[in-house]
């Protein structure tokens, strides 16, 4: 039996958790135990699929979003939706994913990019155990928030304008940034709507071909198309 990892204990104390009304049942726990590391599973077993930062980031059941990964990955040579798992997502559609092969990686749905250090960092080597890496799956508030065209965080203003998110909801740009243009004038709170996360994420997954990319201090650098 695992104890709750100290990172998760910190998240509970410092990241404004929002607890679900129901915890996962035995069958759901048994299913998730087959695909997720022990540290993450022990947290989910005890507390459920918790949201953090007042709803800015939500843990989720990977099977709920497997169809989204299938749309993004297609027939990609490195990624497959059956062995990659969405374990959480931000209010604006940044997916935190887990893979036994690549461990933690991220898909930024609004921008159509995926970041996976195991595939883009030359000489990448595992620096810690799977349990320790999985315990860092919850981003801090600054990292989880999304910036408008002026570089100002959007979440608190979206909550004020549209109300707090319920479990399974997200804030989506209308029109999507894949249509209106990322970092353009439509990237504002006024162009946000509250909507079901799975529905919106499925639409974003089909609007453009995603790119495996790396981040520099000033830009997103595409490495190759995905799919």
pTM score of the predicted model: 0.95
Give 51-94 pLDDT, tens digit per residue: 999 999 999 999 999 999 999 999 999 999 999 999 999 999 99
How many CB atoms lie under 10 A from the CB of residue 64? 14
Give 135-192 pLDDT, tens digit per residue: 999 999 999 999 999 999 999 999 999 999 999 999 999 999 999 999 999 999 999 9
How do the domains of the chain map onto residue ranges? 6-225
Residue 142 forms beta bridges with which residues? Answer: none
Percent share of the chain, pLDDT over 70: 99
Report strand pairing: 84-90 vs 94-99. Answer: antiparallel
Locate all alpha helices (DSSP H) within 140-218, ordered by sequence: 141-144, 155-162, 177-180, 197-207
| Dist. CA 126–CA 13, nearest whole Å | 28
Give how far Cα 57 sits from Cα of 21, 45, 61, 131, Å.
17, 18, 13, 20
| Averaged pLDDT score across all residues of the chain | 95
């Amino acid at each position: 039996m695992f104890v709750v990892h100290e990172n998760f204990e910190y998240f509970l104390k410092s990241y404004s958790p929002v607890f679900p009304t129901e915890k996962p049942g035995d069958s759901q726990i048994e299913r998730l135990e087959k695909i997720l590391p022990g540290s993450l599973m022990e947290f989910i077993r005890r507390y459920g699929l918790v949201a953090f930062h007042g709803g800015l980031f939500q843990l989720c059941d990977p099977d709920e979003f497997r169809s989204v990964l299938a749309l993004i990955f297609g027939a990609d040579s490195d990624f497959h939706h059956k062995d990659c798992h969405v374990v959480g997502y931000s209010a604006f559609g940044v997916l935190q994913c887990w893979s036994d092969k690549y461990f933690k990686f991220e898909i930024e749905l609004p921008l159509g990019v995926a970041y996976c250090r195991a595939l883009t960092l030359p000489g990448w080597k595992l620096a810690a155990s799977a349990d320790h890496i999985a315990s860092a799956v919850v981003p801090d508030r600054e990292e989880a928030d999304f910036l408008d065209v002026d570089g100002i965080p959007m979440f608190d203003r979206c909550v004020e304008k549209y109300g707090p998110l319920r479990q399974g909801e997200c804030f989506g740009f209308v029109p999507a940034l894949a249509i209106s243009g990322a970092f353009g004038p439509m990237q504002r709170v006024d162009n946000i709507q509250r909507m079901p996360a799975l529905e919106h994420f499925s639409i974003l997954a089909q609007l453009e071909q995603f790119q495996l990319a790396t981040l520099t201090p000033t830009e997103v650098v595409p490495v190759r198309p995905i799919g």
